Chains A and B, each alone.
Chain A
Amino acid sequence: MQFAYLRRAAAGGAVAALTFVGAGIATATPAYAADSKVSVVHGIPDTPVDVYVNGEKTLENFEPGDVAGPLDLPEGQYDLALTRPGEPIGEAILTADDAEVPGGANISIAAHLDADGEPTITPFVNDTARVDAGKARLIVRHTAAAPAVDVRAGGSPVFEGLTNPNEAKGDVDAGSVSADVVLAGTDTVVIGPADLNLSEGTATIVYAIGSAEAENLAVVAQTIDGLHSAPSGVPSGTGGQADTGLGTWWYALAGAGILLLVAGGARAAVVRSGRR
């Protein structure tokens, strides 16, 4: 009885402490540590999984080629675990402990094969800086069990010698391009070609996934929008017919008016005093 009471009191204390910390964060937030946007990308072929975050099942039966999120997560360290669907967390096929989530970032956590074909987890920080008006950002990530590759757009290489688990990126003119992936320095196409529709003001992130050996190379894509910039101005008149300013003639008229008033007044005064 006494024990139960103590436990309840302890629980109450914990809640109070949490609230206090919560209030502290809420008031301190504007300066730093905004939540991060976290997406999860599944790039391991033929292996649906359940995803656990800090021991809690967050995604169920997450299919290869799917993208989850974004989730709003506070800054901190997270334990990730992937299990076969329905299996207990103790039998996870892949874990990443103390995965660092910085504050105010946009992150993609990719479960994928490393260059040797072993499952692994790689966090990527997404570049969400604004793009210039008319531009789109293309980010390509090598997350496949395959050697170095080149990415070509319209037949010419745009990113060369990309290796697992790295990314290449660039801001390009918005629009559609035909892209493919070749073994670095060769014309041997391993993925594509496919039409890439790069919308203005967005980042399109393309993951190369799968395994060259198993001949199941493919792509997964993720898009981040809202990165657009406004044009620098709207120049829309060179004639001057709609001028609402006061022209030089106005200043001449006003000036002449003042001169006449002053000179005329002075002259009248002189004439009057002369008569006296």
Chain B
Amino acid sequence: MTVGNRAALAAVAAGAAALAVATVVAVVSRPAGSVGTEQAAALASPTAASTGPVVAVAPGALPDDAEPVRPVRLRIPAIEVTARVDPVGVDERTQEFDVPPSVDEIGWYRYGPGLAAESGSVVIAGHVDSAEQGKGAFYRLRELAPGDTVTATGDDGTERTYRVVAREEYDKTKIPLERYFARDGRPRLTLITCGGPFDAEARRYRDNIVVTASPV
């Protein structure tokens, strides 16, 4: 066997090894994908309003300021998360969800339902990570699976436990936000963060990870 032949075979072996490693990495790093999509959609379908033949008559009083029960703390044992929850709204300029700047804190959408609401989606979003602060409270949100529990403590001091029914991954341009910010449908808790491939130049993730949980 010549030296040239040996080198050629070594090159072939090295090439095969490199391709094998690349394949393994590609398979392992594939996103976990979505589970429970149908269950999540079912929770969001509007509940039939009971309309009797009688015309409802009510005093035309000015609306009162009924404050919803806001979540102040969220605990997710499966991914070892305990985080403070701040009430947040939308960014004035972009109309985007105003996720708290500190990655250790997560934000509750204060315009939507509170924990005591009898219908609709309680939305809490948090950072997966940030360039300056590193990993965020929701770094491991994508690891949640149906059956995992989430406990939210309200400002009324009551703990409410939810069970995960779905984890979905959506391209940010295709996510049905109307459904996750709905105020009708069954009462549910919706957790949102970023995920999927990262665009290093735009410093943004392509996808949103959405976890839907039902009250236990």
Cβ A243 vs Cβ B198 within 8 A:
yes
CB-CB contacts below 8 Å: B143-192 with A: 172, 177-178, 180-181, 183-184, 192
Cβ B183 vs Cβ A197 within 8 A:
no
Residues in B neighbouring A266, C-beta threshold 8 A: 8
Residues in A neighbouring B138, C-beta threshold 8 A: 236
**B7 contacts partner chain A, Cβ-Cβ < 8 Å:** yes
**A24 contacts partner chain B, Cβ-Cβ < 8 Å:** no
Partner of B19, one of A133, A201, A233, A254: A254
Partner of A62, one of B11, B25, B57, B204: B57
Q: Compute how far the CA of A266 lies from the CA of B5 in the bound complex, rounded to whole angstroms.
A: 10
Give, as a whole number of angstroms, the nearest-CB distance from B170 to chain A. 10
**A204 contacts partner chain B, Cβ-Cβ < 8 Å:** yes
Interface residues on chain A, number (Cβ under 8 Å): 74
Of the stretches B37-45, B69-77, B79-87, B123-131, the one at the interface is: B123-131
Cβ B90 vs Cβ A237 within 8 A:
no
**B22 contacts partner chain A, Cβ-Cβ < 8 Å:** yes
Give, as a whole number of angstroms, the nearest-CB distance from A276 to chain B. 13
B173, closest chain A residue (CB): A233
Of the stretches A98-106, A113-121, A157-165, A220-228, the one at the interface is: A220-228
**A41 contacts partner chain B, Cβ-Cβ < 8 Å:** yes
**B50 contacts partner chain A, Cβ-Cβ < 8 Å:** no
A254, closest chain B residue (CB): B22
Cβ B193 vs Cβ A236 within 8 A:
yes
Partner of A237, one of B63, B96, B193: B193
Cβ B129 vs Cβ A231 within 8 A:
no
Q: Compute how far the CA of A68 lies from the CA of B57 in the bound complex, rounded to whole angstroms.
A: 4
A 255-276 to B, binary, CB cutoff 8 A, 1 in contact else 0: 0111111111111100110010
Cβ B63 vs Cβ A236 within 8 A:
no
A231, closest chain B residue (CB): B97
Residues in B neighbouring A265, C-beta threshold 8 A: 8, 12
Pick from A58, A230, A232, A261 the residue with the most CB of B within 10 Å: A230
Q: Closest 4 CB pairs between A and B?
A: A245-B197, A264-B11, A260-B15, A257-B18
Given contacts A58-B55, A245-B197, list 12 more A-B pairs with CB under 8 A: A66-B58, A66-B60, A234-B192, A236-B208, A237-B198, A238-B127, A238-B204, A241-B128, A254-B18, A256-B18, A260-B15, A261-B11
Question: Can you name 15 A-B pairs with beta carbons within 8 Å?
Answer: A42-B60, A68-B57, A199-B63, A201-B183, A225-B183, A231-B90, A232-B96, A234-B193, A236-B125, A237-B193, A237-B198, A238-B130, A261-B19, A264-B13, A271-B8
